[in-house]
Amino acid sequence: MSDSKDLLAKISGSSSDNEYFLPLPTGYQKGKTKYVIVMGTVMSGLGKGIFSSCLAKLLQDKGLKVAPIKLEGYLNIDSGTLNPFRHGEVFVLDDGMECDMDLGTYERMLDQNLCKQNFATSGQIYNSVLEKERHGDYLGRDVQMIPHVTGEVKMRLRELAVSSDADVVFVEIGGTVGDLENAFYIEAIRELAYEEGPNSCCFVALTYILEPRTLGEQKSKAAQLGIKQLLQLGIQPDIIACRCEHPVTEQARQKMSVFGNVPFERVFSMHDSASIYSIPAMLRDGGLDFEVLRMLKIEDRIKLRHERKEWSRWCDFTDKINKETHEVCIGITGKYTSVRDSYASILNALEHAGIHLASRVRVEWIDTTNVTDANVAEYLKDVDGIIVPGGFGTRGWEGKIACVRYARQNDVPYLGLCLGFQAAVIEFARNVCGISKANSTEVEQDCPNPVISILPEQKKIEGLGGNMRLGGRDIEVKKDTLAWKFFGKVGSVRLRFRHRYEVDPEYITQLEEKGLVFSGKAPNQPIMQILELGEHSFFMGTQSHPELTSRPMRPAPMFVGLVAAARKRKYPDSKMDEPLAVVEKVRSF
d(CA 515, CA 324): 36
3 state DSSP class of 200: coil
Contact 41, 205 (CB under 8 A): yes
Quickly list DSSP for 494-545: EEEEEES-EE-GGGHHHHHHTTEEEEEE-SSS--EEEEEESSSSSEEEESS-
Report in angstroms how near the CB of residue 419 gets to ligand GLN at its nearest: 4
Does the protein bind ligand GLN through residue 391 (CB under 6 A)? Answer: yes
547 in catalytic set: yes
Between the alpha carbon of residue 387 and those of residues 183, 365, 412, 524, the distances in Å are 41, 10, 11, 29
Report in angstroms how near the CB of residue 452 gets to ligand GLN at its nearest: 8
CB closer to ligand GLN out of 148 and 498? 498
Q: What is the dihedral of CA 121, 124, 129, 131, to 10 degrees?
A: 170
3 state DSSP class of 252: helix
Question: How many CB atoms neighbour CB 552 within 10 A?
Answer: 20
CB closer to ligand GLN out of 486 and 497? 497
Question: Which part of the chain contacts ligand GLN (CB under 6 A), choosing from 213-221, 235-243, 304-312, 498-506?
Answer: 498-506
In sequence order, the β-bridge partners of residue 359 are 326
Report in angstroms how near the CB of residue 92 gets to ligand GLN at its nearest: 9
Looking at residues 272 to 311 of the shown chain, list those that interact with ligand GLN (rule: CB under 6 A): none
Does the protein bind ligand GLN through residue 499 (CB under 6 A)? Answer: yes
Report in angstroms how near the CB of residue 495 gets to ligand GLN at its nearest: 12
CB closer to ligand GLN out of 57 and 335? 335
Question: Which part of the chain contacts ligand GLN (CB under 6 A), choosing from 93-101, 124-132, 388-396, 428-436?
Answer: 388-396
Which among 548, 333, 361, 546 has a CA at the least distance from the CA of 420? 333
Looking at residues 412 to 431 of the shown chain, list those that interact with ligand GLN (rule: CB under 6 A): 418-419
Exactly one of 172, 191, 398, 547 is catalytic; name it. Answer: 547
d(CA 185, CA 168): 18
Report in angstroms how near the CB of residue 516 gets to ligand GLN at its nearest: 18
Sole binder of ligand GLN in the list 500, 551, 570, 587 (CB under 6 A): 500
Burial (CB count within 10 angstroms: exposed 0-12, middle 13-18, buried 19+), residue 147: buried
Nearest-CB residue to ligand GLN?
390
CB closer to ligand GLN out of 392 and 571? 392
Which among 531, 520, 417 has a CA at the least distance from the CA of 477? 520
Report in angstroms how near the CB of residue 539 gets to ligand GLN at its nearest: 18
CB closer to ligand GLN out of 48 and 400? 400
**Side-by-side strand order, sheet with 539-542:** 359-366, 326-333, 385-388, 414-417, 539-542, 528-533, 516-521, 469-477, 492-499
d(CA 383, CA 408): 14
At what angle are helices 221-232 and 250-260 packed, to 10 degrees? 20
Question: Which part of the chain contacts ligand GLN (CB under 6 A), choosing from 354-362, 369-377, 390-398, 485-493?
Answer: 390-398
Q: How far is C-alpha 56 from the geometric centre of its chain's CA atoms?
A: 15
Query: Which amino acid is it at 314?
Result: W
Looking at residues 501 to 560 of the shown chain, list those that interact with ligand GLN (rule: CB under 6 A): 501
Report in angstroms how near the CB of residue 178 gets to ligand GLN at its nearest: 35
Sole binder of ligand GLN in the list 65, 392, 478, 580 (CB under 6 A): 392
Report in angstroms how near the CB of residue 395 gets to ligand GLN at its nearest: 12
Size of the site for ligand GLN (CB under 6 A): 10
Exactly one of 72, 418, 433, 532 is catalytic; name it. Answer: 418
CB closer to ligand GLN out of 408 and 498? 498
Report in angstroms how near the CB of residue 80 gets to ligand GLN at its nearest: 11
Enumerate residues 6+ apart whose C-beta is below 8 A from 74.
Answer: 121, 122, 123, 174, 181
CB closer to ligand GLN out of 197 and 334? 334
Question: How many CB atoms neighbour CB 205 within 10 A?
Answer: 29
In sequence order, the β-bridge partners of residue 528 are 521
Between the alpha carbon of residue 484 and those of residues 114, 488, 570, 581, 582, the distances in Å are 27, 7, 26, 13, 15
CB closer to ligand GLN out of 144 and 394? 394
Secondary structure string (H, E, C) spanning 556-575? CHHHHHHHHHHHHHHCCCCC
d(CA 363, CA 60): 32
Between the alpha carbon of residue 411 and those of residues 78, 423, 435, 505, 522, the distances in Å are 40, 17, 22, 27, 28
Does the protein bind ligand GLN through residue 334 (CB under 6 A)? Answer: no
CB closer to ligand GLN out of 73 and 420? 420
CB closer to ligand GLN out of 497 and 538? 497
Sole binder of ligand GLN in the list 191, 442, 504, 532 (CB under 6 A): 442
418 in catalytic set: yes
CB closer to ligand GLN out of 208 and 501? 501
Report in angstroms how near the CB of residue 460 gets to ligand GLN at its nearest: 18
Report in angstroms how near the CB of residue 97 gets to ligand GLN at its nearest: 15
CA atoms within 13 Å, Cβ hemisphere of 356? 31
Does the protein bind ligand GLN through residue 88 (CB under 6 A)? Answer: no
Exactly one of 352, 356, 499, 545 is catalytic; name it. Answer: 545
72 in catalytic set: no
3 state DSSP class of 330: strand
Sole binder of ligand GLN in the list 473, 498, 521, 568 (CB under 6 A): 498
Looking at residues 24 to 83 of the shown chain, list those that interact with ligand GLN (rule: CB under 6 A): none
In sequence order, the β-bridge partners of residue 439 are 450
**Contacts with ligand GLN, residue ranges (CB under 6 A):** 390-392, 418-419, 442, 498-501
Instruction: Enumerate the active-site residues.
Output: 418, 545, 547
